[in-house]
Structure 1
Amino acid sequence: MIKYEIPGLLKKHENLIKGTFRYSNEISFKREETKPWDSKLGGCPYLKSVEEYPTDEAGEPMLFLAQINMADLENLAELPEKGLLQFYVANTDLFGLEDPVLVKYIEDYEENEEHIVKKHPYENEEYKGNLPFSDSGKMYFKTREMPMSSSLDLFQEIFANKLSEAEYEKLSEDCYSSDSRVGGYPYFVQNDYIGFDDDDFLLLQLDIDEECGIMFGDSGNCVFSIPKDALKNRDFSKVVYDWQCC
């Protein structure tokens, strides 16, 4: 597990900082073949039939960004213990930013490729060119214990008036929370427009990655979050999606 060691300058604020700790599962990617039920970036999602593939409000096939197999994750009690979570956005120039997104939860799935769609039904060259990554790949996870991201409005509310200027600057540098992950805290390139707080859960952050060429706009990333109450009720219609770039 990756742990945050509180530096000497901030030791007197240890309890305050530790009070914000959350577990995350940090994602690394490898360009390799995946099974239909694997945790993956792009490629073909788990589908029993082509007709199951999601479409947007105009009836056009959506972009499949990622799939998470719950069995691959650790220390994230808020999530279901089993099943697949799939992330789709509208196929637009803005990667679906101004359109409804779909996060689909499949509780039960079978590990039998004979009865599953093996090839993405809409993955032609135009489709691939509209994706925010150049290559699909398999996801690997490593657990991290992380303090609150300094890009959140809540970070400033908690720490700004309790730390000296030097302490606040040091903690802000340490809590630069880029990289891809499930759980923990998001990193916002510009501003915390969605107002991520203690009652929200980070379902997925996809950040710049060289292995699979991930990039939203100019050095940007994307965030999928959900209120914890909605997550508890498996109501993924409440997911909030945002992507920002420099």
Structure 2
Amino acid sequence: MIKYEIPENLKARENIIKRTFRYSNEITFKCEETKPWDSKLGGCPYLKNIEEYPLDEDGEPMIFLAQLNLSEIKNLNDLPEKGLLQFFIVNDDMFGLESPIVVRYIEKYEEDETQLIKENPYENSEEYKEGLPFLNNGKMHFEIREMPMSSSLELFETTYKNELSEEEYEKLSDDCYSCDSRVGGYPYFVQNDYLGFSDEDFLLLQLDIDDECGIMFGDSGNCVFSIPKNALKDKDFSKVVYDWQCC
């Protein structure tokens, strides 16, 4: 586990800071071959037949962004213990920002590759490739991290502004820079917290800049998928909200 080290000049405020701690699963990517049910960036989703592949409102194939195998993710009690989560966005020049997304939960899956589609039926077309926010498909690897609240949240100010001195507040703001890719924990917003992420929300997926797979949303940007915890408890993934921002 990656432990969070409270800065020396904030040790006196340790209890205030620790009460916001959450666990996340930090993601690293490797350009490796994946099984249909693996946690992955791009490539081919777990798919039994082509008719299951999501299409946008114009009947065009959506971009398969990522898949999470929930059995590979640890210490996040809000998530289901097993199953697959798949993330699809509309293929346009805004990475589907203003269009409906599809987040699909597959509770039970089989591991017989002979019964599954092994290649994304659309990813070799130039039109599909042009819309991708990454250069290479990759396998996800996870490491548990302990993290304080992200200073990019509106919630950060309301939580700490009256609890810390101005100097302490600035120091903690500088230290709580929550970039990188992850599941759980807190999101990082490049510009503003337009989603209004709160204590009652769960970070389902954050994809940030990555050299291995060439992830990049716009100009040095990232994307965030968030869901209310009560919807997550009910496995209602129609309530997922999506945002991406860049410099």
Tell me the TM-score normalised to structure 2 length.
Answer: 0.98
The residue correspondences of 1:91-130 to structure 2 (distance < 5 A) are 91-123=91-123, 124-130=125-131
Q: Judge which range, 159-168 or 170-179, deviates more.
A: 159-168
The residue correspondences of 1:9-158 to structure 2 (distance < 5 A) are 9-123=9-123, 124-158=125-159
Following the alignment from structure 1 to structure 2, what is the Cα–Cα distance between the partners of residues 237 and 59?
Answer: 20
Following the alignment from structure 2 to structure 1, what is the Cα–Cα distance between the partners of residues 139 and 231?
Answer: 28
Q: Give the deviation of 1:59 after TM superposition.
A: 1.4
Following the alignment from structure 1 to structure 2, what is the Cα–Cα distance between the partners of residues 207 and 85?
Answer: 18
Aligned pair 1:240/2:241, yes or no? yes
Q: Give the deviation of 1:15 after TM superposition.
A: 1.1
* CA distances 1:185-204 after superposition (whole Å, capped 9, x unpaired): 00000000010010000000
Q: State the match for 1:177 in structure 2.
A: 178
Q: Judge which range, 182-191 or 126-135, deviates more.
A: 126-135
Q: Judge which range, 42-51 or 1-10, deviates more.
A: 1-10
Q: Give the deviation of 1:181 after TM superposition.
A: 0.1
Following the alignment from structure 2 to structure 1, what is the Cα–Cα distance between the partners of residues 106 and 209?
Answer: 27
Following the alignment from structure 2 to structure 1, what is the Cα–Cα distance between the partners of residues 89 and 8?
Answer: 44
* CA distances 1:136-181 after superposition (whole Å, capped 9, x unpaired): 0000000001000000000011111221122111111111000000
Q: Any unmatched runs of 5+ in structure 2?
A: none
Following the alignment from structure 1 to structure 2, what is the Cα–Cα distance between the partners of residues 105 and 31?
Answer: 25
The residue correspondences of 1:152-231 to structure 2 (distance < 5 A) are 152-231=153-232
Following the alignment from structure 2 to structure 1, what is the Cα–Cα distance between the partners of residues 129 and 57?
Answer: 21
Q: Determine helix, strand or coil for the equivalent of 1:142.
A: strand
Identical positions, percent: 74
Q: Give the deviation of 1:8 after TM superposition.
A: 2.2
Q: Any unmatched runs of 5+ in structure 1?
A: none
Flag as ranges the 4+ runs of structure 1 deviating above 3 A.
none
Following the alignment from structure 1 to structure 2, what is the Cα–Cα distance between the partners of residues 125 and 35?
Answer: 24
Following the alignment from structure 2 to structure 1, what is the Cα–Cα distance between the partners of residues 13 and 154?
Answer: 19
Q: Determine helix, strand or coil for the equivalent of 1:103.
A: strand
Following the alignment from structure 1 to structure 2, what is the Cα–Cα distance between the partners of residues 63 and 8?
Answer: 45
Following the alignment from structure 2 to structure 1, what is the Cα–Cα distance between the partners of residues 60 and 235?
Answer: 26
Q: Judge which range, 119-128 or 178-187, deviates more.
A: 119-128
Q: Give the deviation of 1:126 after TM superposition.
A: 2.2
Following the alignment from structure 1 to structure 2, what is the Cα–Cα distance between the partners of residues 103 and 173?
Answer: 33
Q: Determine helix, strand or coil for the equivalent of 1:201.
A: strand
Q: How many residues align?
A: 246
Following the alignment from structure 2 to structure 1, what is the Cα–Cα distance between the partners of residues 38 and 174?
Answer: 34
Following the alignment from structure 1 to structure 2, what is the Cα–Cα distance between the partners of residues 57 and 227?
Answer: 25
Tell me the TM-score normalised to structure 1 length.
Answer: 0.99
Q: Determine helix, strand or coil for the equivalent of 1:163.
A: coil
Following the alignment from structure 1 to structure 2, what is the Cα–Cα distance between the partners of residues 79 and 125?
Answer: 36
Following the alignment from structure 1 to structure 2, what is the Cα–Cα distance between the partners of residues 216 and 50?
Answer: 28
Q: Determine helix, strand or coil for the equivalent of 2:85.
A: strand
Q: Give the deviation of 1:3 after TM superposition.
A: 0.8
What RMSD in Å do the two structures reach over aligned CA positions? 0.7
Q: State the match for 1:6 in structure 2.
A: 6
Q: Give the deviation of 1:6 after TM superposition.
A: 1.3
